[in-house]
Amino acid sequence: MQDPEPFLVGGEWRTSPAVLDVAEPYLGSTVASVCIAGREDCNDALNAAEAGYKQMRDLPAYRRSECLTAMAGFLEEHAEAATELIVSEAGKPWRAAESEVMRSSDTLRVCAEEARRIDGEILPLDWTEGGDGRTGYLYRVPLGIILGITPFNFPLNLACHKLGPALAAGNACILKPASKTPLTSLFLGEAALAAGIPPQAVSVLPCLPETAEAMVRDPRVAMVSFTGSPEVGWHLQAVARTPRVALELGGNAAVIVHEDADLAYAAARIAHGAFSYSGQACISVQRVLVHHTVYEEMRLLLCERAASLVTGDPTAPETDVGPMISEFAAMAAEKKIAEAVAAGAVCCTGGSREGAVLQPTVLENTTPGMDVNATELFAPGITLIPYDTWEEAIALAADTPYGLQAGIFTNDIVRIQKAVRGIPVGGLIVNDIPTFRMDHMPYGGTKHSGIGREGPRSAIREMTEERLVVVNGQ
Ligand code: NAD
């Protein structure tokens, strides 16, 4: 067994006696051990970040941009190693992991571009008497220390969505990765150092939740940027010392397939959005609302797609659907499906589990109150729900405490406009699935799904604040 991986405190690699075993979700074997940061290490990271922030703040925009471009280059150069890490610690099928690495370098490249575009506004102040000769300048200035907390499901790209904008804006950043997937974030820390980011500005601290929570409560943290479950996210917002908390949380995304949709295309996209990475994306398709005239055809198309997917070993290039993050997570999803079936739902395909692999599942005859509809399933399962009118479909899609993204398949502009008004989500995707995301898009949720927007341009706005300068020029 190799020595436990060290963690990164303000540019310094450190070990500790406390370690965490990282398990490979498919077979359950240990792939590595990682040292866990303690309270003292976190305190040192915060002290280093205070100094690192001053160095970042003083770097010209073109240097911050160059460093982020170099980080992206590092990821591309080491793409195969990064893919292997994601496959082994997250159990993500190889092709999906490869695409995550490419997306991550894109995210950093967008951050590098946006670093040069942090501009302001000139505001003439002579609107009324008393403002004669005065001009206002609005600048955007970095906040200081950004604490980024990330989930397991996109361990590299979501860490890039914290670190990239934080550094682009001239902040220091402390990353706290998910305990199941710390290896990719440590790799990202290596990329940051190799790219010439001032070392004190970057820390990557795998640690216990209570240790991370102590940082959330620390007055030195200027902003907490959290991605993860609603339960943890809203709790952290309540205990955070800083009022600046961005929350990117979960959902139970709906897609509406109307009678004028291209059904074969819609079915292919829905299967992709529902079953990729075993449905473990916050915008995975979960509820499929289908106009009654095309319901039976859609049901057959989706069942056929679901049943044709190759499931199993994530390291095999042909695998479409690998394991869930743990057998425990797969059992929890299997239980919700079994409960629905016991209460009258019909399982059209899937529903069975082997270890951490849950077969792609299509359910019908569900009710809105069943857990498979009302809660975030976060597994490769969808429910099919027929509707009669567009108004009914909109009401069903909106009937949820969540609001990340929704998809609608229709070409009718009036129906599209009604959906824009009627479905309260962060993003409405027309003629595609709610799972669609380009990394430079503004991205985030309404209601229980969070507050704030991610995507480099939006995140930079949230990780900076406006400063007004008034010049008396007379
Ligand atoms: P999680 O909430 O269990 O963990 C997220 C992170 O919070 C981890 O790093 C975890 O260690 C940390 N954490 C847990 N308790 C903490 C505490 N008390 N103090 C500080 N940190 C703490 O989520 P998960 O299971 O890793 O990820 C799945 C969830 O993430 C799903 O709900 C999914 O929808 C959501 N998610 C949202 C987005 C988005 O952009 N909206 C993206 C990906 C995942």
- What tens digit of pLDDT does each residue of 299-311 get? 999 999 999 999 9
By the 8 A CB rule, do 284 and 381 touch? no
Taking alpha carbons only, the member of 249, 229, 172 closest to residue 205 is 172
Mutate-to-test residue for ligand 1 from 242, 282, 376, 436, highest number of ligand atoms within 8 A of CB: 282
Distance of CA 348 to the CA centre of its chain: 30
340-353 mean pLDDT: 98
Q: In the structure, what pLDDT confidence band is assigned to residue 369 with cuts at 50, 70 and 90?
A: very high
366-370 mean pLDDT: 97
% residues pLDDT > 70 (the chain): 100
By the 8 A CB rule, do 222 and 49 touch? no
By the 8 A CB rule, do 98 and 79 touch? yes
| Closest protein CA for atom 14 of ligand 1 | 209
Q: CA 220, 233, 185, 319: dihedral to nearest 10 degrees?
A: -170
Ligand 1 atom with least separation from CA of 444: 41
Q: Which helix (H) or strand (E) holds 54?
A: helix 39-58
Q: In the structure, what pLDDT confidence band is assigned to residue 324 with cuts at 50, 70 and 90?
A: very high
| Closest protein CA for atom 26 of ligand 1 | 151
Cα separation, 178 vs 181, in Å, equals: 5
Q: How many Å lie between the centroid of ligand 1 and the Cα of residue 460? A: 21
**Structure confidence by residue, pLDDT tens digits, 17-27:** 999 999 999 99
| Closest protein CA for atom 19 of ligand 1 | 213
Residue 206 pLDDT more than 70? yes
Q: How many Å lie between the centroid of ligand 1 and the Cα of residue 342? A: 30
- Three-state DSSP class for residue 255: strand
Ligand 1 atom with least separation from CA of 282: 34
Taking alpha carbons only, the member of 401, 400, 402, 352 closest to residue 380 is 352
Q: How many Å lie between the centroid of ligand 1 and the Cα of residue 150? A: 6
Residue 145 pLDDT more than 80? yes
| Closest protein CA for atom 39 of ligand 1 | 248
Ligand 1 atom with least separation from CA of 212: 20
Query: Any idea which residues carry the catalytic annotation?
Result: 248, 282
Cα separation, 230 vs 430, in Å, equals: 26
**Structure confidence by residue, pLDDT tens digits, 154-181:** 999 999 999 999 999 999 999 999 999 9
| Closest protein CA for atom 15 of ligand 1 | 209
- Residue 32 forms beta bridges with which residues? 22
| Closest protein CA for atom 43 of ligand 1 | 282
Residue 93 pLDDT more than 80? yes
Residue 401 pLDDT more than 80? yes
- Residue 173 forms beta bridges with which residues? 146, 202
Mutate-to-test residue for ligand 1 from 224, 229, 447, highest number of ligand atoms within 8 A of CB: 229
Residue 393 pLDDT more than 70? yes
| Closest protein CA for atom 36 of ligand 1 | 228
Cα separation, 98 vs 78, in Å, equals: 11
**Sheet bearing 427-430, strands edge to edge:** 346-349, 361-364, 381-387, 287-291, 254-257, 405-409, 427-430
Q: Which long-range contacts (CB under 8 A, 24 or more apart) does 59-64 make?
A: 59/170, 59/198, 61/115, 61/116, 61/118, 62/116, 64/112, 64/115, 64/167, 64/168, 64/170
Judged on CB neighbours under 10 Å (0-12, 13-18, 19+), 102 is: middle
Q: How many Å lie between the centroid of ligand 1 and the Cα of residue 277? A: 16
- Tell me how many degrees the CA angle 195-201-205 measures, rounded to the nearest 5: 100
pLDDT of residue 2: 84
Binding-site residues, ligand 1, Cβ < 6 A: 149-153, 158, 176-179, 209, 212-213, 216, 227-229, 232, 236, 248-250, 282, 376, 378, 404, 450
Ligand 1 atom with least separation from CA of 178: 9
Report in angstroms the alpha-carbon separations of 29 from 35, 130, 132, 280, 325: 18, 73, 72, 21, 13
Q: What is the pTM of this model?
A: 0.97
Ligand 1 atom with least separation from CA of 232: 2
Q: How many Å lie between the centroid of ligand 1 and the Cα of residue 458? A: 20
Q: How many Å lie between the centroid of ligand 1 and the Cα of residue 251? A: 13
- Residue 349 forms beta bridges with which residues? 362
**Structure confidence by residue, pLDDT tens digits, 21-75:** 999 999 999 999 999 999 999 999 999 999 999 999 999 999 999 999 999 999 9
Taking alpha carbons only, the member of 307, 326, 301 closest to residue 409 is 301
Ligand 1 atom with least separation from CA of 213: 19
Q: How many Å lie between the centroid of ligand 1 and the Cα of residue 119? A: 32
- Tell me how many degrees the CA angle 61-64-66 measures, rounded to the nearest 5: 105
Q: How many Å lie between the centroid of ligand 1 and the Cα of residue 207? A: 14
The residues, any chain, with a CB within 8 Å of residue 401's CB and separated by 6 or more, are 447, 448
Q: Which helix (H) or strand (E) holds 354?
A: strand 353-354
Mutate-to-test residue for ligand 1 from 153, 175, 213, 283, highest number of ligand atoms within 8 A of CB: 153
- Backbone phi, then psi, for 128, in 5-degree steps? -135, 170
| Closest protein CA for atom 23 of ligand 1 | 228
Q: CA 316, 319, 324, 325: dihedral to nearest 10 degrees?
A: 30
Residue 241 pLDDT more than 90? yes
Residue 474 pLDDT more than 90? no
Mutate-to-test residue for ligand 1 from 249, 286, 435, highest number of ligand atoms within 8 A of CB: 249
DSSP string, 398-433: H-SS--SEEEEE---HHHHHHHHHH---SEEEETS-
% residues pLDDT > 90 (the chain): 99
Cα separation, 153 vs 366, in Å, equals: 27
Q: How many Å lie between the centroid of ligand 1 and the Cα of residue 210? A: 14
Three-state secondary structure readout of 432-453: CCCCCCCCCCCECCCHHHEECC
pLDDT of residue 1: 64
Ligand 1 atom with least separation from CA of 450: 41
